Amino acid sequence: MTKQRFYKNIWFWLFVISAIVAIVSLGLYHNAETANEHLEDKIEAIEDNKPPKKTNTADVAVDNNILQRQTGNRQNNKKYSIQKEAILKTLTNKKMYGMTLIQATQDFNSQGQTLLNGREIDDSLSKTKGVQITLKYKNYGDNDDFEPELDEFTVYQGNQEATILNQEADQIEVLKGQSAEMTFWVNLPKAVSENNKIEIDYTNDDVSNGITFKATVN
């Protein structure tokens, strides 16, 4: 019986084919990995050269107003006297809201009189330092309801900030074209008899400007 040569054996050729397939697969994997690395390098290079994202004007208004509150930067606020309407606009100069200071007084209404005897410190109105503030507000351009919030106001006596009580009256949400009045109360740092000049700042996140009312407490 003649012995079959190894290279004529089927197992030999199966081994050869398997080796070739393995070598080719390894080469393809290496090429794919290299190509992927090149692609990642190109994507990274493109991202590095991307132009900066456009700034959202609404975000700018929000950031500016937050910064103004945090730093107390009030120099750019336009000043208004009593009974003069202040206009608040967006960065695109759209007329959004109007606000008018009606009075700043120590002639307290019935709710103010109740606050004079407040048992909780946050609701207690001082007879000598307390002031009642009434404003009119109007929604000119906001398609949503407009209602001023107490934390959007800051009241000053000289360079010192007053304490705004967590109490308000008559405040309602107004639709576009509507107006309403609101009343709230503050305790000044010093007695009104010592300094009866106050300033009331207002701004909100939908507008680009802040406003300041100057008033004499009566």
* 111/190 same-domain check: yes
Of all residues in the chain, what percent are helix, strand and coil, respectively (each to 5)? 30, 30, 40
* 156/194 same-domain check: yes
* 41/107 same-domain check: no
Neighbours of 171 (CB within 10 A): 17
Q: Is the residue at 67 inside a domain? A: no
Q: Is the residue at 70 inside a domain? A: no
| Residue 60, pLDDT score | 46
* 86/10 same-domain check: no
Q: Is the residue at 39 inside a domain? A: yes
One-letter amino acid identity for 207? V
Question: Domain residues for 128?
Answer: 77-216
* 99/43 same-domain check: no
* 143/189 same-domain check: yes
Q: Is the residue at 151 inside a domain? A: yes
Query: What is the tally of structural domains in the chain?
Result: 2
* 96/200 same-domain check: yes
Instruction: Tell the residue number behind the tokens 């008899």, with chain if given.
Output: 193
Q: Is the dihedral of CA 102, 191, 117, 162 positive or negative?
A: positive
Q: Is the residue at 71 inside a domain? A: no
* 19/97 same-domain check: no
CATH code of the domain in which 192 resides: 2.60.40.1240
Residue 201: left (phi > 0), alpha (psi -120 to 50), or beta? beta
DSSP string covering 103-136: EEESS--HHHHHHTT-SSGGGPPPTTTEEEEEEE
* 156/204 same-domain check: yes
Q: Is the residue at 14 inside a domain? A: yes
* 10/82 same-domain check: no
User: What is each CA distance from 189 to 89, 104, 169, in whole angstroms?
Assistant: 31, 16, 23
Q: Is the residue at 1 inside a domain? A: no
Instruction: Tell the residue number behind the tokens 């330092």, with chain if given.
Output: 129
Q: Is the residue at 59 inside a domain? A: no
pLDDT in tens, the chain (218 residues): 555 555 556 766 666 677 676 665 655 555 556 655 665 665 666 556 655 455 454 444 445 554 444 445 677 899 999 999 999 999 999 999 999 999 999 999 999 999 987 765 667 999 999 999 999 999 999 999 999 999 999 999 999 999 999 999 988 999 999 999 999 999 999 999 999 999 999 999 999 999 999 999 99
* 29/96 same-domain check: no
* 38/115 same-domain check: no
